[in-house]
């Protein structure tokens, strides 16, 4: 069985209003990851990624650039968290 990883990520910069959440969802689903992405009140974006170690690491690296209109200034990563329901990656609102 391959190693798995679950991380929480906070992305700062110009990351709201630039399709960052939709881009994150598409990229995460393409890599078979579970989790969520949502906007935060402070203008940042929060995501939880869970899945194969290599896929999570690659997704975190992708978050450092984001979609073309985004301007990422900082990405913080915290290990762990409750693994989400397998096979689901959602955009959370509200």
pLDDT exceeds cutoff 60 at 1: no
What are 6's strand-pairing partners? 50
Active site residues: 21, 39
C-alpha angle 74/72/21, rounded to 5°?
110
pLDDT for res 16: 97
18 HSE (CA, 13 A, CB side): 18
In Å, what is the CA distance from 93 to each residue of 9, 19, 39, 68?
17, 14, 7, 22
Residue with structure tokens 């940042």? 44
pLDDT for res 69: 97
Question: Mind listing the pLDDT tens digit for each residue in 66-84?
Answer: 999 999 999 999 998 777 8
Q: Which domains are seen in the chain, by residue range?
A: 4-83 (3.30.70.100)
Question: Mind listing the pLDDT tens digit for each residue in 22-55?
Answer: 999 999 999 999 999 999 999 999 999 999 999 9
State the pLDDT confidence band at 87, using cuts at 50, 70 and 90. confident
């Amino acid at each position: 069985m391959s190693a798995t990883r679950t991380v929480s990520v906070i992305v700062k910069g110009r990351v709201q209003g630039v399709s960052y959440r939709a881009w994150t969802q598409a990229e995460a689903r393409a890599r078979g990851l579970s989790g969520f992405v949502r906007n935060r009140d402070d203008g940042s974006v929060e995501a939880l990624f869970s899945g194969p170690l290599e896929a999570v690491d690659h997704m975190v690296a992708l978050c450092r650039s984001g979609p073309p209109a985004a301007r990422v200034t900082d990405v913080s990563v915290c290990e762990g968290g409750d693994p989400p329901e397998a096979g689901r990656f959602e955009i959370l609102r509200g």
